[in-house]
Every structure is written in C-alpha cells, then in structure tokens.
Chain A
Amino acid sequence: MSAVHALARTAATPTPVENNPVLNIAIFLAFVVVTLVIVFRASRNNRTAADYYAAGRSFTGPQNGIAISGDYLSAASFLGICGAIAVNGYDGFLYSIGFLVAWLVALLLVAELMRNTGRFTMADVLSFRLKQGPVRTAAAITTLVVCFFYLLAQMAGAGGLVALLLGISGPVNVGIVIAVVGILMIFYVLIGGMKGTTWVQIVKAVLLVGGAAVMTVWVLAINGFDLSALLQRAVDTFGASQKAQDAGVSGAAILAPGLQFGANPLDFVSLALALVLGTAGLPHVLMRFYTVPTAKEARRSVVWAIWIIGVFYLFTLVLGYGAAALVGPDAILAAPGGVNSAAPLLALQLGGPVLLGIISAVAFATILAVVAGLTITAATSFAHDIYANVLKRGTGASGSLDEVKVARRTVVVIGVVAIIGGIVAQGQNVAFLVALAFAVAASANLPTILFSLFWRRFTTRGAVWSMYAGLGSALILIVFSPAVSGGPTPMIAGVDFHWFPLSNPGIVSIPIGFLAAIVGTLTSRPTEDPALRDEMEVRSMTGYGAEKASGH
C-alpha cells in the first residue's frame, strides 16, 4: 500500500519461518472434518427455499449474532488489521473503528425494518413497493458485484496465509491451494445451505474470538498488563527497523496517525466514509437478518454482533502492537504473505509451532466460512431475484424448489469465478480489497435501502438510477485509481492509466449514489402503488405479515 511496502517486499527475500506444515495441516483437517459433520447434520432439514436460504428462520438472536460476527470478522479483520497495526501502527486501528461504528447504521436504521419486510434477499425489500423487474435486476447486480470484491479479498488472504503456513510459494502452488479452498467452500454451501453455513460461522467465530483472546492476554501478560509498556516496546522495535529508516520517521511514529495515510489524508477520509456506510449495505450481512424468526431477534443479533466485534477489535489493537513489538515490521514484511502474516507470526513467537498451527487453522477456517457466506448470498440473489422473479416472473417459481436448484448451480459457478479471481488477486492487502467492497456497497446499496425505508415519495427511477450510478461511479473510479495501475502496489504492473488520485472511491461515489436517488425521484412522477407503500410502512414498523420460523 505504501512505497515502503513495495520496497521491503521486493528487497528482502522471504525468510523461511520455523514451522511444522504437517501439524498445521492436521489442525486444519480437524476443523474441516468437524464442520463437515455439522453441515451434514444441518442439511437433513433442508426441504424448502426458506430452509436453504434462510435456515428456516430458526436461529436465535444470540446464535445469529455470533454468526454475523463470524461473517464480519473476515480475514481482513484478523490478518489485515493486525498486520496494518503491526506495520503502520495507529493507521491500522482506524480500519477497525470504521468497521465497528458502521454497525450503528445497521442497528438503528436498517436491521429490523429489513427483517420485517423481506423474505430472502436485499432486493425483496428494495422492490417491495417499486417496479419488480428493474429494481430487482439492479439490486441483484450490485449484490453480485459486492460479493465478488469481498470474495476476491478472502481468496487473496487464503493464498497469503497458506504460503506462510505450508512454506509454499510461487503463484502456481498458491493457486492450487486457492482452488482447494474454493472447492471445499462449494461443497459446504451445496450441502449445508444457509443452516450449514451459519453453523460453520458460529464454530469459526468462537474459535477466532477465543484464539484472539488467548493471544491478547498472553501479550498483555508478557508486558505486565501495562498497555503503555507494550506500546514502548513497539516504539523501540519500530524505531530500530528498516521500515522506519526508509520512511525517515522515529519509533514514536507508530503511535500516531499518518504512517499509512500521511501522504494522502483525503484518501483516508474517503476510506472512512466507505467503511462506516458500507456495512449496512453488505448483502451477506443483510441476508443474515432473515435467519431469525422476528425483528426483535434481529435486533438482539445485531447487539450481540456489536459486542463481539467491538471486543475483537480491541484484541486486534493489542495483537497488532504486540506483533510490532515482539516480531517487528521488518520480519513481518519479509515473511511469505507479507503484511497479512503479522498475526500468525505473533502466534509463532508466543506459543511456537503449535500456536501458529492453531491460529493459522482458525484464520483459514475464517476465510472458508466467510467465503461460504458470500457464496450463498450471491447464489440466492441470482436464483431468487434474477431467475425466479425476473426471468420466470409470474410462473410461481419464486421460493420454489426449482429456484433452489438454480441457486445450487449458481454456487458452483460463483465458486469457480472466486477461484480464478483469487488467483489473480494474490498478494493484495486483504483489508484494502474489503474496503473496495464496502465502497461499492455504500454507493450502490445504502442510498436505495434508506430511501425505500424512510422516504415515502421514493420512486423506481430513483432506486434504479441510484444503484447504477453508485455502482458505475465506484467501479470506474476503482479502475482508474492508483490501486489498479500506477500506484506503489498496483494490481496491473507495468502500465499507468490512473487519473483518479484516491485508492478508495467512496468520497465521490457515495454522494453520487445518494444524489442520483434524489434526482431520479424528483424528476419522475410518483406512479408507484400507494397501497403498497402504506403496506410496506406498516409491515416494516410492526412486523405484520413477516415470515415466521418454519415448523421443523
């Protein structure tokens, strides 16, 4: 992300990490076996569309809250933020604050109202009182794009992690591993549906938060439970590092903002905007609200998620500075997997190969679970929104088993696309890739979600314009950003066609999304059905007519 990274990465040859690949694989296989058993057991009750997509709406608020945390605490949160704090200090912490505060948008404005009005997908709510065809199509497209970016991030994270774990390097070998992750994930989702996926999320969230808690206490114990002493050690190690010398800063720079975003503070503001407004527009998060029986349970699940996620980010603060103090930025950047390897390397430092194996397996499980959650969301959106409600509209296909069959086939297609994308995106910082997904979600989804819930006059044209303008502007600005070409670590090396100065498009594309919604609405005559508008309002506020838990 910074010029320093690129230098450090190319200058230093990856140092072999003291490691035990056999142990790592054994721990990981144990996780796969346990979760597969769970998925098989969970799949026995998958009979209807509501079972496959929404787990029969039978999860409790706390269960769903843990699963939401599992979905949300992706590789970006664990590997990406720990690494960003370890290498860039305070600026890494800024990611976690945005990721957490964003949940208030979901809690206060979106979760319960969405749960009350929809069935399976975000598009159910957006198209409730507007014209089905155009709105559903647009919403399904934005859903697929957001899921794709998020998938890329997870797959790139998987590649880096495996490189570290198994001592594998070289694009071909890592590519094979990414393919294995993709195939495993397809298997989970095909068999388990939403119920199986949710249980995988729950298991993974418990392991991840538990593992991070153990490491946090460990790091604090080494430093006599004195945060200031830990920070002092981070300052000392950082001050002596090559990275600090290259950047021309003192050790204390790791405690202040500026190491990562100092050269371009506007880019940071843009990122911050995307993070705080993106969460409530993430389709795989929104879909989780349909796995609980009532809006009240949706509220409870968000509360659980906020506590778990908040506490976890406090852990990552300690772990990030712990990795900076005990491992040091130079060793992290030189390791295979680069900045994403801070947390696993800290585990190695603390507990030797066994803890490294456990933490890496947990991180790997994290990726697998998040990828499964994204895949089922994307497949549901394609099958339910595009296939059943646009292509086969009016044939009674909506919510049918035929639709579920289409969803299962889509899972395979998405899995293959994710594998290919993951191979291409190797080596990108996962927190950064996820930030792009957030920018697209905030620009293309959030304006329409908020306006359709809170603005009675909102029209079909407003929704469609907003989704396409938000999506289009975000994508165009990403393509012509320094992240794709011309920047320090571009996706496409050797060429430079960037003209947009920021890596994150949010500060431009999010206002465009909101403006397009307002302009589109004000320039169209309100031709929408007023009865549906009243019905949606009553339902969203009271939960009348909302789908309940299915019988079994």
Chain B
Amino acid sequence: MSDHPPAAGRETGFASVVRSERFTELKSRHRRFVFPLAVFFLIWYFLYVLLAAFARDLMATPVFGNVNLGLLLGLGQFVTTFAITMAYVAFANRRLDPVATEIREELERTGPNAAPEVRG
C-alpha cells in the first residue's frame, strides 16, 4: 500500500484525463484565479509590513481622533482578507466545483482503467 506499484495498467487513464480539454480548463481556471490573488495579497501585506517597519512617522499620522493611518491600514488588511475569502468561495462554487464534480463522477463511473485504492 505504501510503496508505488508498477504503473503499467493505469497510466493511460489518469494521463488522458490530465490531457483532456475539460481538465486543463479546470486547472487553468483555478490557477488564473488563485495565483494573481495570492500575488496581490502578499504584495499588499508586505507593503504594509515595510511601512510599519520603516515609515513609522507616516503610520503615526492621525486620521481622525486618535485613530492613525497605521491602524486604518492594519484594519484594511482585515477587510481585504475577508473580501478575498468571500470572492474565492463564490468563484470556486460557481466556476470550479461543477467541472471538478463532472470529471470526478465520470471517473467514478468508468474508473481510470481500474482505479487504484487510496494510498497512504
């Protein structure tokens, strides 16, 4: 179970799925959505971190009352985190899940040339 059995019989099954148009479309939809978002939130996070580390006077600028720019930008990180979370869920439910389910159900019906058991 733990070792890799020779892959003779089942190679064609998964390989053909990987090459299929639906699967490549699913994969590129997923990556086109999550990679740019990941780059965006990491840049925004590190911009914030660098400001807090090296532009302390700017961050201390009061905006209203005792609430300063640093606090607002920090709360902004919370807002973007919540927003990205909800955007991803909406996207995954609408654009990823139907295709993934379709491919999975088809595989479960036909089997990729006798599907192997779960490895672990």
Contact = CB atoms under 8 A, between A and B. Distances in A.
B84 A104 contact: yes
Nearest to A397: B2
Given A256-B59, A530-B15, A531-B11, A398 B84 contact: no
Contacts of A303: 85-86, 89
Residue picked from A255, A256, A257, most chain B C-beta under 10 Å: A257
Interface residues of B, number: 64
Interface string A214-247: 0000000000001111011001000000000000
A124 to B, nearest CB: 5
Interface stretch (A21-29, A202-210, A262-270): A262-270
A542 B104 contact: yes
Given A100-B77, A544-B103, A545-B118, A276 B66 contact: no
- The secondary-structure label for the interface of chain A is helix
A268 B10 CA distance: 50
B66 A94 contact: no
A108 B36 CA distance: 11
Contacts of A104: 37-38, 41, 81, 84-85
B82 A306 contact: yes
Contacts of A531: 7, 10-11, 14-15
Interface in A82-137: 90, 93-94, 97-98, 100-101, 103-105, 107-109, 112, 118-120, 124, 128, 132
A543 interface: yes
Contacts of A257: 52-53, 56, 59-60, 70
Main secondary structure of the interface of B (DSSP, over half): helix
A61 to B, nearest CB: 11
A276 to B, nearest CB: 6
Interface stretch (A168-176, A405-413, A486-494, A532-540): A532-540
B120 A124 contact: yes
A299 interface: yes
Interface of B: 1-4, 7, 10-11, 14-15, 17-18, 23, 26-27, 30-31, 34, 37-38, 41-42, 45-46, 48-50, 52-54, 56-57, 59-60, 64-68, 70-71, 74, 77-78, 81-82, 84-86, 88-89, 92, 97, 100-101, 103-104, 107-108, 112, 115-116, 118-120
